[in-house]
Amino acid sequence: MDQAMRNTQPDLSRRELLAGLAGAAALGISGSTLLAADAPDKAGVKIGKIKQSVCQWCYGKVDFETLAAHSAKIGLKGFDLAGPDQWPNLKKHGLICTMTPTTGIGKGLNRKQNHEECLSVLRKRIEETAAAGFPNVICFSGNREGMDDAEGLNNCVDALKQVAKLAEEKKVTICMELLNSKVDHKDYMCDRTAWGAEMCKKVGSPRVKLLYDIYHMQVQEGDVIATIRKFAEYIGHYHTAGVPGRNEMDKDQELNYPAIVKAIIDTKFDGYMGQEFIPKKSDALKSLTEMVELCDVG
């Protein structure tokens, strides 16, 4: 795999590590998984007030075709973080790439010496995403490494202003992901919603927004529903997972996902919400179906 192709998998080391921590058994295909793939068509999305997608990396050994077929069957719209090499197979199943990958997490836009490389990849991905008719590309702030947050914010603003016009012309939204720096991504700079919203405000483009990861922001700052309501205009995409553990959003975790999704819908959000939990149960596809149904609220 050449460097260009590696850039379609910006978060692979992090995601492989998280998947490994969840345990190979929790991510493998079992007999019950195959049954889940053959579940009745009525399973999955019924109401559809929020468009849902899935992050493939969470599903370990579940092959692409199986996951894509099941995702389409239960009413999902696409895959997050699928590289251009995977797009033809997505389209075969009537799915789209709901968030195009770009560069990695640690080396981001908060340092001017990264701008040339990061913006080159961003421009290429914006062009490719627009040509495919897809909606979003991801970007990252990078880590602090001793840098003041105000300086990092200004550097991110400077970088994003250089590609905002292209994004507007191509009707593609650039989403900087909010990640927690307490547990999973030590030293990551874009770790608070208010910081990210200020960055978006300073860029001043409707095509520069935030990827609000519900799991990460519950770990980092809590107060999820109030924060979503306050900063809704700056949020272009959502990710899900239970807290603690980043697993299914069930009775063993602390977030009330139906209430959170209802709050998102109430903000008139018209983007996508990606299921990014790591299944801890042996039947990964059944878990996906159940979590999709949980978030399919009126």
Task: State the pLDDT at residue 15.
Answer: 42
The tokens describing 169, both together, are 């012309």
Exposure string of 128-148, with b = 16+ CB inside 10 Å and e = fewer, is bbbebebbbbbbbbbbbeebe
Query: What is the secondary structure of 40-71 as a DSSP string?
Result: -TTSS-SS-SSEEEEEGGGGTTS-HHHHHHHH
Task: State the pLDDT at residue 233.
Answer: 98
Beta strands in 91-159 (DSSP E): 96-99, 136-139
> What CATH number does domain 3-295 carry, 3.20.20.150, 3.40.50.1970, 3.40.50.80, 3.40.430.10?
3.20.20.150
The tokens describing 52, both together, are 């849902």
Residue ranges covered by each domain of the chain: 3-295
In DSSP terms, which residues pair with 97 in a beta bridge? 79
To the nearest 10°, report the CA torsion of 70, 81, 64, 62.
Answer: -80
For residue range 121-166, what is the model confidence (pLDDT) as tens digits? Answer: 999 999 999 999 999 999 999 999 999 999 999 999 999 999 999 9
Distance, CA of 91 to CA of 132 (rounded, Å)? 10
Distance, CA of 197 to CA of 175 (rounded, Å)? 11
Residue 215 CB burial class (10 angstroms; 0-12, 13-18, ≥19): buried
Beta strands in 68-130 (DSSP E): 78-80, 96-99
Mean pLDDT by 10 residues, the chain (298 residues): 36 40 38 38 88 95 95 98 96 98 92 97 98 98 97 98 98 98 97 98 98 98 98 98 97 96 98 98 96 96
Cα-Cα end-to-end distance for the chain: 44
Task: State the pLDDT at residue 107.
Answer: 86
Residue 20: how many CB atoms within 10 A of its CB? Answer: 11
Task: State the pLDDT at residue 12.
Answer: 39
Distance, CA of 207 to CA of 32 (rounded, Å)? 42
Task: State the pLDDT at residue 42.
Answer: 62
The tokens describing 24, both together, are 């190979």
**Chain CA centroid to CA 197, Å:** 17
Task: State the pLDDT at residue 61.
Answer: 83
Task: State the pLDDT at residue 17.
Answer: 38
Residue 170: how many CB atoms within 10 A of its CB? Answer: 17
